[in-house]
Structure 1
Amino acid sequence: MGVQMTAGEDIAIRRKRLRYRAWHRGTKEMDLILGPFADANVEVFDGPTLDRLEALMNEEDPPLLKWVMRQEVPPAHIDSDFLELVIADHQARVEK
């Protein structure tokens, strides 16, 4: 049997994995959008909010970039409230 983890260790590992994924998307543009967002937020996100981030990160980069840049309206299955958090975070960084 593997080593049993506590819930605290499990969420810490999940946060670390999500931060890594956010910075290693495959396209530099999405790395620079999701990486800083994850760095700034994953430590305070609870499990359900991490689920929302993970669902968004499971989308392909080209459409995701178009949604963040407001070049296309995301499809109905996308969590638009959470996407708006990512967009607001990105716009705040661009405006600095």
Structure 2
Amino acid sequence: MQDRETRIKQLRYRAWRRGFREHDFLMGTFADQHLATASEADLGAFEALLDQADWDVYYWIVGQVPVPDRFQSPVMDRLQALSFTVETIRQTS
């Protein structure tokens, strides 16, 4: 089993390389801001999202498609809040 620091580094790497810029930014920014202090449950929830199709997760985060129950978590709530913050900043710039 890998140590926590290695796991977080791998998750951050995966988060910043999702496949399209908007999703990279949301997942990567979240990883940079939250993974170092995340609980094991939150790390698992984030990792589960990284294992899903990029567009599915992106649409869940931005609210275009309802989030399946199994992916509802504090991690998803924080990702959606980050998305709202980014969109608000973009609209006022």
User: TM-score, normalized by length of structure 2?
Assistant: 0.82
Equivalent residue number for residue 89 of structure 1? 82
Q: Deviations over 1:21-70 (max 9, x none)?
A: 00011122210110001000111112221111111221111111111111
Aligned residue number for residue 9 of structure 2? 16
1:74 alignment partner, SS class: coil
- Equivalent of residue 47 in structure 1, options 40, 44, 48: 40
Q: Which moved more, 1:35-44 or 1:86-95?
A: 86-95
1:75 aligns with 2:68: yes
Which of 11, 18, 21 aligns to 1:28? It is 21
| Identity across matched positions, percent | 31
Structure 2 distance, partners of 1:40, 1:81, is 14
Normalised by the length of structure 1, the TM-score is: 0.80
CA contact (8 A) 2:15 2:24 kept: yes
| Structure 1 unpaired stretches of 5+ | none
More helix by share: 2
- Rg comparison, structure with higher value: 1
> Where do 5+ consecutive residues of structure 2 fail to align?
none
Please state whether the residue corresponding to 1:24 is helix, strand or coil.
coil
- What residue in structure 2 maps to residue 37 of structure 1? 30
Name the amino acid aligned to 2:22: E
